[in-house]
Amino acid sequence: MSDKPFRVLPELTETTRHFWEGGQERELRFPRCQSCGAWIHPPTPLCPECLGKDLAIEAVSGRATVLTFTLNHQQWVPSPDHPYAIAIVELEEQEGLRLTTNVVNCAAEDVGIGMPVQVIFEQYEDVWIPLFEPAEEA
């Protein structure tokens, strides 16, 4: 058994590669509309805010807040990290810019709504999975 939890890895495509490979540079990346500044996730060919087509990949700060979470106690597959927290976090850059992720590097029971977290990356082959850990005090 590996010391890392089991993960089903995503297929990299031209529209998702920036996201899964960003961790190599310790960057959490999303498309951003160059017309109105909106961050876009999941990727779309047009900006959902202004329908602009001029999108570029940019990195966010990686700082976020836990919006909601659940604790998984079921051992679905052999894995070292039970129980673990599955959370929806919102990036500080924009209301609604959210990821479903795991909160790690703390006891699962210590995860709470409103908790400040920051991104870290866990590498599997050519994929860097964005996870979140409790944020250091500013």
Determine if 52 is a binding residue for Zn ion (CB under 5 A): yes
The least CB distance from residue 94 to Zn ion, in Å, is 12
Cβ distance to Zn ion smaller for residue 38 or 111: 38
Find tokens 């961050």 and name the residue. Answer: 39
Cβ distance to Zn ion smaller for residue 18 or 32: 32
Cβ distance to Zn ion smaller for residue 25 or 54: 54
Measured at the CA of 66, the angle between CA 51 and CA 44, to 5 degrees, comes to: 20
Cβ distance to Zn ion smaller for residue 49 or 126: 49
Structure tokens at 58: 């940019």
- Neighbouring residues of 43: CB distance < 8 A, sequence distance ≥ 6: 15, 16, 19, 30, 31
| Nearest by Cα to 122 from 93, 79, 91, 70 | 79
Site for Zn ion in 11-50 (CB under 5 A): 33, 35-36, 38, 47, 49-50
Helix (H, G, I), strand (E, B) or coil at 29: strand
The least CB distance from residue 34 to Zn ion, in Å, is 8
Determine if 108 is a binding residue for Zn ion (CB under 5 A): no
Beta bridge partners of 101: 87
The least CB distance from residue 111 to Zn ion, in Å, is 33
